[in-house]
Each structure stands twice: as structure tokens, then as C-alpha cells.
Amino acid sequence: MTQQPLELVAITGLGVIGACGRGLPTMDQALREGREGVGALGLWQSSLGDFPVGQYRGDLEADLDNVPGLTPYLRKRLSRSDALALVAAAEAVGQAGLPSLQAFGAYVGQSVCGTLTSEALYIEARRRANAGNPEKVDMRGAFVHEGANTLDRLAEAFGLRGPTLSFMTACSSAANAIGLAADAIRAGRCEVMLAGGADSLSRIAFNGFCSLKVVSPDGPRPFDRERQGMMVGEGAGMLVLESAAHAKARGARVLAWLSGYGHSCDAHHLTAPHPEGKGAIAAMREALELAGLRPSDIGYINAHGTATLDNDRTEARAISSLFGEGAVPVSSTKRFFGHTLAAAGGIEAVVSVWALRHKLLPANLGVRVPLEEAKLDLVTVNQPAQGLHHVLSNSFGFGGNNAALVFTEAV
């Protein structure tokens, strides 16, 4: 059954933070220069420290000075994930130039949440117990563990009074948060939404992926024949979404349109994608149909591209099946940021809008010999893209949770 195209939703603000640094200008420079975010783990000591990570290296505490409405009391109640989300949100809200946010809401994708803080409390409790120290650990810091803490802090800092929801669909969380926030706008629940994702590094996530033997010792090489795995990263990508009428009424500058959204579940395996990419194809096809577009209308695909053996093989097959072999330029930006888990779809949404606005395609860093399972038109170096009107961004997560977003240029 042919579906009616979705009403366009305006994107009027963007914010980003991650391994490439803080803010849009820093990201712009990194993408143009091909400066990867691969680096050593610095947040804690680990016997697995030889595996690189995509860690934010800036002064996050100082970055919080740029978040309006963040009182000293609120600053004491933040996890690292919360702080990343707030910094990215502040940039997005500032760019959007909104006079007030009180009637607006926020949808955020998360998975790690405040785990890094909880781990530190557990380690300290174990240290005291082993030392025979009867002094109790102040567990009030554990309040930041849950995902709702990020939403609460966003609401308090920006004065949000609209709907707030946290989404946990593994690595497609942020993409689903963005797509469903746009749906909330179309349904009339809100005229403006903050949407995206945030996740910090944590021991349990880093060690867990290492134990699955899907982490590469030299960083990710997406869609490379000899790829060895992913690189765990951290960061946040946030968007300000508005109804077209609201953006027009206040004379807002529209950076791009969110024109399509699709999501699906493989129902195949806890961690492995469906080998034929059925769920991925379904999500991409739905996003195109709801945008009223044909596969040939897409000028660039920002792939999920984690550089794991299963993901890249399956995603390449899915793209080739739907679009044709070598029919559309494709790249993964995971070597710039690492795999930022629930934040990935938010950061990559920002990259997708960047590509549309600058008519540039970011490089798929790390490729030596392209994989052979399915032929892709891999963007191995930054290249101009004249006539780029629509971009597709893929986010595929554990459990076969797939999401695809279509972004359309604003003219």
C-alpha cells in the first residue's frame, strides 16, 4: 500500500560533542580535514587500554558554563552522559534562537546513562570493604544512574514543560528519538522538540564489547575487507525540530527538513542482524516511502557502518538490494567519533545535515580494501556533491532495532 508523504518538519538547531571535539565548527574542521577521533582510553585504568576509544578530550566541566539555566545545584546532579547532552542541547537551542522553550518537549536516546558514576561508587564501596573501612559511601550520586535524569536536567535547565521521553533501542535510540519527536510535532502534541541522543563511555559497555570480541585494536575500518571491529565512543548529537508553520511564523532559518522516518525490528537475534538485512531494508524503504521519494532521489547514505564483521556485510547487502550496487555514495563516520551507542543516530543526523548544507560528503576513513560481499560506492576521501538534495542516515542496533531517517535540503 502506497503511503502519503509525511509533513516536513523543520530542523532549526544543531549541537554536537564527541571525540572530534565540541561544537559544529570543530566538527566541520575535523570532517573537512579527515581528522579521526581514535585515541587512548583516559577515563579509567584498564587492562584493555590498548584498545582505542572515541573519547571526548575537552574540559566537560568548563563546557557546562555555556549551558544557560544550569545552577550549581543542578551541576552536582549530572552524570557524564547528562553533561554531554546538556552541552550539545545548549548549542542546538542557541543556534535555533528560540525566545522561550517552556511549551516544548524533549525526546532523547540513551543506553549507558549514568553507569560511569555508578561504577565509581561501586568501586569505592569495594575498596573500603576490602580495606576494612566501615565508613559508608555516599550513594546519593547513584541518582544520576537512570536515563530519566538526563531528561529531568534538560527540562530544568531549559524550562521545558512539554512531553519528555527516553528511548532505549540500543544503537538506534537517538534516530528513533528524532523520528518519533517529529511524529509528535505532526500529531500536534508539540510545536518544538529537542531530540537526539547522548552516551558516555563506561567500563561495562567498553568491557562488554571487548568480551564479545568485536572491538578493533587499531580503530574501526568500516566496510573494509579486513575490518576487525568497532571502536566504542561517547558524545551527543541534538537537534531542534519545529513544525513548518511555527518556524515560518517566527522567521526561523531552516537548516534542513526531516522528511522521512522508518523503523523496524529483525526479531532474529539478540546481537546479530538478520543476515539478509530484511529489517534494515524495511526501515530504509519505509523512510523513503514516507518522504515520498524513490531510491534514486537519495544522493548520499550515512551508513551505520560499525566495522564489525556482521554489521557491515549485512548493511552493504541491504543498501545494494534497495538502491542497486554502487548506485549511491556511502560512508560511515565511525572513525571520526567511534560508535557512540545510543548517541550515534543523533551525531550522524548532525553530520547528514552538514553534508546537505555544505554539499560535501564525509570520508569513510580507514578503508584499505573495500569489502567484496556487496559493491558500494564508498566515499574514501571528502568529495563535493553538487545536486545533493536528500540524505539517508542509518542506525541499526542490537536486537535488530533498525531506524532510518531522511533529511532534505532547505531551499
Dihedral pair phi/psi, residue 262, rounded to 5°: -135, 145
CA–CA dist 184, 156 (Å, integer): 21
The single-letter DSSP state of residue 137 is P
Q: How many whole angstroms separate alpha carbon 177 and alpha carbon 347?
A: 12
Is 339 labeled as catalytic in the residue annotation? yes
From the list 246, 263, 274, 304, the catalytic residue is 304
CA distance 84 to 61: 10
269 is a catalytic site residue: no
272 within 8 A of 383, measured Cβ to Cβ: no
Looking at residue 146, the DSSP 8-state letter turns out to be: S
- Give the span between the Cα atoms of 287 and 217, in whole angstroms: 35
| β pairing state of 300-302 and 360-361 | unpaired
Active site residue 389: no
Rg (CA), the chain: 20
Q: How far is residue 98 from each of residues 186, 193, 244, 253, 408, measured CA to CA in Å?
A: 19, 11, 14, 11, 22
- State the DSSP string of 265-330: E--S-SSSPPTT-HHHHHHHHHHHHHHT--GGG--EEE------HHHHHHHHHHHHHHH-TT-SEE
Helix axes 309-323, 278-291, angle to 10 degrees: 40
User: From start to end of 200-283, where are the E strands?
Assistant: 235-243, 256-265
CB-hemisphere CA count at 13 Å for 44? 15
Residue indicated by cell numbers 561544537? 23
Kindly write down the DSSP assignment for every residue of 164-191, as one continuous string.
Answer: EEEE--GGGHHHHHHHHHHHHHHTTS-S
Give the separation between CA 397 and CA 304, rounded to whole angstroms.
9
Catalytic pick from 113, 171, 190, 263? 171
Q: Is 237 helix (H, G, I), strand (E, B) or coil?
A: strand
Among residues 246, 263, 274, 339, the one annotated as catalytic is 339
Q: Which of helix, strand or coil describes residue 363? A: coil
Catalytic residues: 171, 304, 339
